[in-house]
Amino acid sequence: MSNPIGANMLLIQSDWNEDKTFKLIPLTNDCPYIEAIYDPSTKVLVMISRVSMTKLHMLPKLDDNGDPAPLKVPRKNGRAVKEERKSIETFQEFYIDNTDAIDALVDIFAINKDKFDYKQYIKK
């Protein structure tokens, strides 16, 4: 029987915008996370869990062709399309910005932590 907490993710190299970075991807179905990715520009590791929740989001209102419906006059916030509030199911996300906490999570979850140099992407 596999352990649902730890040693069930793989570190891989990835891209985030224009930067090289690292990701953690699950290796087993019992891993509590779908994915984790480190954003080098904000120095934050984003962990996306399997726990889903319903949240309200502002989404573009669509016309009959499925395109965003334009506003006659753009709003003060610069948005030029009609929007509506919708309740959608999303996965819970965790944002870790402490380097020691990132190291601890990698230590717990990554099976290849000794072979993959993820710290090269974490610039202090």
pLDDT band at 89 (very low <50, low <70, confident <90, very high): very high
pLDDT digits (tens, 9 = 90+) for 43-70: 999 999 999 999 898 999 999 999 999 9
Instruction: State residue 1's pLDDT score.
Output: 46
With 60 as the cut, is the pLDDT of residue 2 above it? no
Instruction: State residue 4's pLDDT score.
Output: 55
Which structure tokens are listed for 82? 């009609």
Cβ–Cβ contacts within 10 Å for residue 122, how many?
A: 16
Instruction: State residue 124's pLDDT score.
Output: 54
Using alpha carbons, list the distances in angstroms from residue 4 to 13, 22, 23, 94. Answer: 24, 22, 19, 18
pLDDT digits (tens, 9 = 90+) for 4-19: 578 999 999 999 988 9
